[in-house]
Structure 1
């Protein structure tokens, strides 16, 4: 008897994805209450690309034959927590590298917009006010990149024309093509000389509230903190307090909590620029994700080792 095809769930955005391996049965799910097939038959699950972790993890407890979860994001903190609660081991893969260039592009945009006062100029434009003001330049600034993976490296690529003095921090000491990468234990010391701090690290037990009141107090006056990683890497209450004092500024693509509630003080804190977690969301996103999914499914169908496996 021929075995039944192995079941794969893909997001509805992949409805027209062609060239997928034969021998697999594909369902498309939009994150809604109606499932495209019995979740108990699913062996390879690609969750929809939504910010609500509850949506993507909802069917997991019903997926009793699940072997692989392929995330469409680089960060997998919510999925990791949910998978730890399952009775059987599931392979988790992320989308490392897919979002790197777009996220780096946004990080640079946040730096430039914040330093050059674009939020103030935008508000003045809304009021039809012509208000020339002098603001800092990025050229020659000391920049600290915290989390030197694919995004951190891509950010440094974009900083090259600005002649910045870049310092790199990761979990442990190591070398990189552009210079040394310092272990995170040196972060308090290195933060004291950083005019711009770029957070591109993953969220895990070691990085939750990595940027706390003590670290913020070590930043020099006028420093800019940019977070394109995950909101809980920063202690939000400590950040609000530090920025309210006017000593530092912040530009955030991610927040804690997220989405940011309408009444949250971050919205009205002077010196804070906020974008709604759009680092990887550009017109080039889906073609790159399709390439990743096609490659991973080919490996899965052939019984080969998958790329981007995340330890949890």
Structure 2
């Protein structure tokens, strides 16, 4: 019997998809392209929010794989309880590393070198010369050293940083040096000029950058968040920004999207981008390659890549 596969792209736009599947296009529309009960492999629409991500799951009574196109899986977790046992949830490791690491570096450089101030100066036709901080000779702390964290360090390497420290859920050793556990953060934060958050959103990382975390950062340090908005305690960050003690650059916020009138919009020392870490020209070719690889393995009965969990 032919298996149904739901894709957020038209199948004829993806070269190399294996034959033998019924491919259906669904990008989050109110109506479904087929009966969800017949779906075997579901690719979650990208950047459509949690409501769309979980909407069809309860009706997918025979689904065997749920594939996200994001590195994080927090948007689908609320719907996993509706799935039967044995469903594999896969993330998009390998798709977003290049784009997200680029933006992490861009936010860091723009904030340090005063780019927002220059843009505002250009709007007012003002020549805002002076000395500004450089990334060279700075100490950088990467919190969340998975594939994206490692890609960020790849891009930091040519910038002559004095030191790069790495933190993840548990300690390990890499070719570049040790990765510290989260428990070491109180000792590492005071030495960092730049703290880059690239950790997934979990119970352990929700509110990780709280008042205590931020208070241990050195005066004048920069916080860069390309992880998820709730990793940072927004009121605690606002207090530090308004005091002028810290600066920040956020690609993600809590709440998100950031509503008009929210105090973050006008907080001093803050650069905001609208959750565009993975939304670049690099996304589509990498996402399509991932889907071809996963579906080819699925068709052949081979183990899938990027399995984050299996429902029970």
TM-score normalised per structure 1: 0.96
Structure 2 partner of 1:269: 267
SS of the counterpart of 2:117?
helix
Please say if residues 10 and 47 of structure 1, whose CA atoms lie closer than 8 Å, have aligned partners that are also in contact: yes
Q: Which of 49, 54, 66 is the aligned partner of 1:52?
A: 49
Q: Once the 2 structures are TM-superposed, how far is the Cα of residue 274 of structure 1 from its aligned partner?
A: 0.6
Alignment of 1:4-23 (within 5 A): 5-12=2-9, 14-23=11-20
- 1:73-98: per-residue Cα shift (whole Å, max 9, x none)? 10111212321343444210001121
- Structure 2 CA distance, aligned partners of 1:163 and 1:130? 29
Taking only aligned residues, the RMSD between alpha carbons, in angstroms, comes to 1.3
Alignment of 1:170-189 (within 5 A): 170-189=168-187
SS of the counterpart of 1:77?
coil
Alignment of 1:112-261 (within 5 A): 112-164=109-161, 165-261=163-259
Q: Once the 2 structures are TM-superposed, how far is the Cα of residue 248 of structure 1 from its aligned partner?
A: 0.3
SS of the counterpart of 2:308?
coil
Please say if residues 146 and 199 of structure 2, whose CA atoms lie closer than 8 Å, have aligned partners that are also in contact: yes
Structure 2 partner of 1:81: 78
Structure 2 partner of 1:287: 285
- Structure 2 CA distance, aligned partners of 1:292 and 1:273? 32
- Structure 1 CA distance, aligned partners of 2:10 and 2:276? 17
- 1:229-278: per-residue Cα shift (whole Å, max 9, x none)? 11111111111111111000000111111111112111110111011111
Structure 2 partner of 1:111: 108
Please say if residues 94 and 286 of structure 2, whose CA atoms lie closer than 8 Å, have aligned partners that are also in contact: no
- Structure 2 CA distance, aligned partners of 1:207 and 1:298? 34
Please say if residues 15 and 28 of structure 1, whose CA atoms lie closer than 8 Å, have aligned partners that are also in contact: no
SS of the counterpart of 2:235?
helix
Residue correspondences, number: 309
Please say if residues 102 and 282 of structure 1, whose CA atoms lie closer than 8 Å, have aligned partners that are also in contact: yes
Q: Are 1:296 and 2:267 counterparts?
A: no
TM-score normalised per structure 2: 0.96
Q: Once the 2 structures are TM-superposed, how far is the Cα of residue 101 of structure 1 from its aligned partner?
A: 1.4
101-110 or 44-53, which deviates more: 44-53
Please say if residues 41 and 65 of structure 2, whose CA atoms lie closer than 8 Å, have aligned partners that are also in contact: yes
Q: Which of 10, 25, 28 is the aligned partner of 1:28?
A: 25
- Structure 2 CA distance, aligned partners of 1:14 and 1:188? 49
Structure 2 partner of 1:308: 306
- Structure 2 CA distance, aligned partners of 1:100 and 1:284? 10
Please say if residues 11 and 23 of structure 2, whose CA atoms lie closer than 8 Å, have aligned partners that are also in contact: no
Q: Once the 2 structures are TM-superposed, how far is the Cα of residue 14 of structure 1 from its aligned partner?
A: 4.9
Q: Once the 2 structures are TM-superposed, how far is the Cα of residue 13 of structure 1 from its aligned partner?
A: 5.4
- Structure 2 CA distance, aligned partners of 1:280 and 1:77? 16
Q: Once the 2 structures are TM-superposed, how far is the Cα of residue 51 of structure 1 from its aligned partner?
A: 4.2
Structure 1 partner of 2:99: 102
- 1:97-146: per-residue Cα shift (whole Å, max 9, x none)? 21111111110000000001111111111122222132111101010010
- 1:35-71: per-residue Cα shift (whole Å, max 9, x none)? 1111111110001112411112111111111111110
